[in-house]
Structures are given as structure tokens and as C-alpha cells.
Amino acid sequence: MKTKITLIGSGNVAHNLGLALLKAECEIVEVWSRTITNAKILADKLEANYTDNLANLNKNSDLYIIATTDNAIAKTAAKLDLGAKLIVHTSGSVEINVLEKASSNFGSFYPLQTFTKSHLTDFSSLPICIEGSTSANLNLLQELAGKLTNRVVELTSEQRQKLHLSAVFVSNFANYMQVIGEELCREQQVDFGLLKPLIEEVFEKNKHQKAIDNQTGPALRGDTFTMNKHLELLSDNKEWRELYQMISGMIQNSKSINQ
Amino acid sequence: MKTKITLIGSGNVAHNLGLALLKAECEIVEVWSRTITNAKILADKLEANYTDNLANLNKNSDLYIIATTDNAIAKTAAKLDLGAKLIVHTSGSVEINVLEKASSNFGSFYPLQTFTKSHLTDFSSLPICIEGSTSANLNLLQELAGKLTNRVVELTSEQRQKLHLSAVFVSNFANYMQVIGEELCREQQVDFGLLKPLIEEVFEKNKHQKAIDNQTGPALRGDTFTMNKHLELLSDNKEWRELYQMISGMIQNSKSINQ
């Protein structure tokens, strides 16, 4: 029998997850959104009903997935009236306990990726991190996640939160290093594309080894001559200068720890 | 006729560049190193002579390439006695003027990549940035670089220095973001491999669009709820906490500028 699922939310995660679940032969029963037109748009794609009334959701689903923004999860859960139905959220940073007042059966279903509506994500090799308030819940989530991907991992809330924080560093913050790089090139009318082979080299090496063993550059070498040149070049940008000093200091410290 | 080249230095750059030049049908006349055994090791690979005497280099070469550490370039040049021979350095961060006392013909020959002796670099699509004190010098460097790669770019010292600084952000500092990510996962016994699809997604997107248009995450969304959670998780690491706040603040500012 098809697993029946209600999606609470209509944003990027709900959108991508809903379509992936539909493709995996699940039945999407209902889509909820605060904004009824958004609920309808997603529901139409998922062949589902839709509503903007949280207290009155269809009670026939096997699983209720809260895919709202992180700060809305607790208050959304507080408005649910679903008895002992299994409720999960899709957040990386919120502990599952915020759901315990809404039901005795709760958990997390966290697909580790950045989602947009415009570019549909392939779930087949995506990690999905699960957590359940009971082993029966965990088993059900394991089975469902297994229909989407071959990388299902059980993590505690604490592990998942650190993983999510780690994701901010390796994706958002690493991306911002490129933003700075682009701006420095733009200031001098230098083609940023010149840096792409270098970026590729670092990226490729890190596929096969730890980043700590792939650290290079003036800070790691303790090359104060070059670092001072760089600080001079950043003299008109106090923030980037501070950032340069801060990260260089950390790299120098990590070297002494690593040796 | 083969271009005759003297390599001044025996480190990672000299090693990789020397082998690439040999492959490109250049003749490596001589290798200098402060340490005679290092000079010999590289010279043997390049079928060249070797010396540790800077003042007494063979004067038959067409080009003298200083591939020492950045802070040694000026003092190395000061010891040369090569008349009006063309002398270049391979540094990203040093202006070419430091060579003007050594010869009236000077320039830069900067291959933009991170080099190690253990892993030989393929130069064929590597950017080489050149600069010359005269257009004749520039032409010679252009021709030589063109034997190694199809990506030869003429840059001023100022442009090259900003490019080099940019490289530190997009390679060394971006790599360090992964170092932090690895450590956060390690603390919680979480497999860092779970983050690889996410890292790949960001990297792949940035191949085709500007990083500023690929910025995501709690800081860009102004999601203080999640940012405060993350700062809590970093409460036992003052440095990373400060770094998190600093980069998040910059991302938030870049958003307001970009809109």
C-alpha cells in the first residue's frame, strides 16, 4: 500500500521533497500553506488536496511532514490536532523535542542539500538524516527515506545540528569566499575565470583527502611577507582585512595543532 | 632554436615549471639553489647543469626565471650579474619593479595554480599571467607561455597582486571552511562525507554563475533564529563563533548592496 503523506509547507524543501515522494510511489494526501494559493500551486503538482487550516488537516495520512521555516516549526506543531499521528520536521537545526507536545510519535527527516524550486534536486544519492521518538517511528522513516535515496543515516538532534552548522561553513561561507574573490577581481578588471582551475584543483583534491591535509597558502607557510602585502592591498576594506587576519591566524594555529 | 632557460630556485614552482618547459622543447641550461643537493636533484631531472653560486650563473640563457619564495626575490635579484638579460619572477604578489636594479629587461611569469612536487601539474589549461618591462620582453614571454598553455594573460603588477589575493580567499580560505566543517563533524562522530553532495552542488553551480548569485543560508535569509542556534553550538569555540558572526554580517550586508 502507498504511504500517505501530508506536507505542511510549500517552500523549496516541501516542493522538492513532495515531488520526490510522489515519484517514489507515495500518495500526497494534502498540502498545507499559510497562503492558500501557494498550497494550491504545490498541491496541483502533487495531485493532492490543499488547505490553509492547520487545525483541520485530513487525519488519514501515515506521516505529517513539517517543512516550514525553522522558527515556525514549534508554533506550527502547536496548532496541529492529529492525535498520535507521526509528525516529523525537515530542519537541520531544530531538535525533535519541539514536536513532543503535538504527538507522542515524532521525529526528523532532514535531506541534506540546498533546494530551489527552479532546479529540481535528484534525491538518489542525497543524504537523508532521520531520527524518531520510538524505534517503530524510526523504522518507518528509514523505509520511506530508503525509497528516495541509498544514503539514509540515523543521527541524534545534536549530531544533526552540528552537521547543519558544518554545512553553513562548507557551503554558505565557502561560497562567500568566492564572492570576495569575484569582487577583488572585478575591482581590477581581472577575469575571475582565471581562478577556476585553482578552485577545481582544491575541490578535486578534497574529494579524496581531508581538507586539513590540503591546506596551503601564506598563512600555513607563516609567510608574513606575503600576508603583509595582502593586508596592504585590503587597506581600503576594513572588514575583509579583519577577516583575512582572523582566518590566517586560525590557519597558523591549526598548523601547530596538526603537527 | 630552443629557448634557453636558467631556473633560479628548486622548490615546488621551479620543479613543476621546469618539467613543463622541458616538455615544451625548451632547453634548461642551469638550475640554481642555495642548497647544492637540491639544485642537483632538479637539474638531473631537467638534463641541466647546476650551481649554488648566484653571481656566477651561465650567461648563455635567453631567460632567467626566479622561482624562489616571495621574500627572497629582491635579494636574489640583487646578487645577479647578468647584464641586460631578461629576468622574470614567478610570484603572484611581488611587483616586477623589484627586478629593475638587476637588469633593464625584466618581467613576471606567474602560473596561477598550487604546486607540489609529488603531484605534477598539467599546464595545458592553466592560466599564466605575464608582464614585461618592454613590449619585446612581453612578446618573448607571451610566446614562451603559449608553448605551455592556451591561457596566457597580460596583467599589471597591481592586477596580478589582487588576483593572487583573490586566490587566497577562493582556495586557501575556502579550504579552511572545510577544515572547520570536518572538525565540527568529527566532534559529533558524524561522517563528513555526508556533506560532499552539498559541496559539489555549490561548486557545480559556481562554474556557471557568479557566487554572489549562489549565496544561500541563514545569514542571507536574515534567519536570526537559526544563527542564534549556531552561535550557541559554537559557545565552546570563541574564535569560530567570532568568525561565524563576522562572515554572517558580511553576507547580510552584501545582500542589501546587491538588491
Give the per-residue pLDDT at A114. Answer: 86
Q: Of A193, A57, A63, A228, whose CA–CA distance to A141 is shortest?
A: A63
pLDDT at A219 over 70: yes
pLDDT at A257 over 80: no
- Cell 619572477 appears where? B89
Give the per-residue pLDDT at B254. Answer: 85
Mean pLDDT within A224-240:
96
As a whole number of Å, the end-to-end CA separation of chain B is 57
Give the per-residue pLDDT at B25. Answer: 95
3-state DSSP call for residue A187? helix
Q: Looking at chain A, list the stretches that DSSP marks H as alpha helix, in order from N- to C-terminal side.
A: 12-23, 36-46, 73-78, 135-148, 157-167, 174-187, 196-208, 218-221, 224-233, 238-258
Amino acid, res. A238: K
C-alpha cell at position A116: 530551489
Q: Of B150, B111, B174, B93, whose CA–CA distance to A182 is shortest?
A: B174
Q: Dihedral of CA B216/B220/B224/B229: which sign? A: positive
Mean pLDDT of chain A: 95
In whole angstroms, what is the distance from residue B73 CA to residue B13 CA?
A: 14
Give the per-residue pLDDT at A259. Answer: 44
**Phi, psi angle pair for A161, to nearest 5°:** -65, -40
Which helix (H) or strand (E) segment is B201 a member of? helix B196-208
DSSP type of residue A50: E
Question: Residue-wise pLDDT tens for chain B (259 aa)?
Answer: 899 999 999 999 999 999 999 999 999 999 999 999 999 999 999 999 999 999 999 999 999 999 999 999 999 999 999 999 999 999 999 999 999 999 999 999 999 998 888 888 999 999 999 999 999 999 999 999 999 999 999 999 999 999 999 999 999 999 999 999 999 999 999 999 999 999 999 999 999 999 999 999 999 999 999 999 999 999 999 999 999 999 999 999 986 555 4
- The residues that bridge with B86 in the sheet, in sequence order, are B63
Which helix (H) or strand (E) segment is B167 a member of? helix B157-167
Contacts of B218 in chain A (CB under 8 A): 168, 172
Give the per-residue pLDDT at A118. Answer: 86
In whole angstroms, what is the distance from residue B155 CA to residue B91 CA?
A: 13
**Alpha-carbon gap: A237 to the closest alpha carbon of chain B (Å):** 12
Give the per-residue pLDDT at B256. Answer: 58
**Chain A CB within 8 Å of residue B196 CB:** yes
Task: Decide if A112 contacts A93 (C-beta within 8 A).
Answer: no
Task: Decide if B112 contacts B90 (C-beta within 8 A).
Answer: no
- The residue among A70, A110, A155, A169 with the most chain B CBs within 10 A of its CB, best to mutate, is A169
In whole angstroms, what is the distance from residue A226 CA to residue B115 CA?
A: 17
**Phi, psi angle pair for B150, to nearest 5°:** -95, 10
**Phi, psi angle pair for B230, to nearest 5°:** -65, -40
Nearest 5°: CA angle at A56, between A50 and A62? 75
| pTM for the full predicted model | 0.93
**Chain A CB within 8 Å of residue B114 CB:** yes
**Chain A CB within 8 Å of residue B125 CB:** yes
Q: How confident is the model at residue A1 (pLDDT cuts 50, 70, 90)?
A: confident
C-alpha cell at position A111: 535531506
Give the per-residue pLDDT at A256. Answer: 58
Instruction: Residue window 91-110, chain A: list those with CB within 8 Å of chain B.
Output: 93-94
**Alpha-carbon gap: B196 to the closest alpha carbon of chain A (Å):** 8
Q: Of B191, B194, B211, whose CA–CA distance to B202 is shortest?
A: B211
**Chain B CB within 8 Å of residue A243 CB:** yes
- The CA–CA distances, whole Å, from A107 to A88, A187, A246, B176 equal 5, 49, 38, 33
Across the interface, which of B93, B199, B230 has its CB nearest the CB of A229?
B93
Q: What is the pLDDT of residues A82-120, one digit of tens each?
A: 999 999 999 999 999 999 999 999 999 999 998 888 888
Q: How confident is the model at residue A139 (pLDDT cuts 50, 70, 90)?
A: very high
Determine the distance from the C-alpha atom of residue B254 to the mean position of all C-alpha atoms in its chain, rounded to a whole number.
27
Quote the percentage of chain A above a pLDDT of 70.
Answer: 98
**Phi, psi angle pair for A129, to nearest 5°:** -100, 130
Task: Decide if B73 contacts B94 (C-beta within 8 A).
Answer: yes
Task: Decide if B7 contacts B31 (C-beta within 8 A).
Answer: yes
Q: What is the pLDDT of residues A179-193, one digit of tens each?
A: 999 999 999 999 999
In whole angstroms, what is the distance from residue A7 CA to residue A33 CA?
A: 9
**Chain B CB within 8 Å of residue A172 CB:** yes
Which helix (H) or strand (E) segment is B107 a member of? strand B106-111
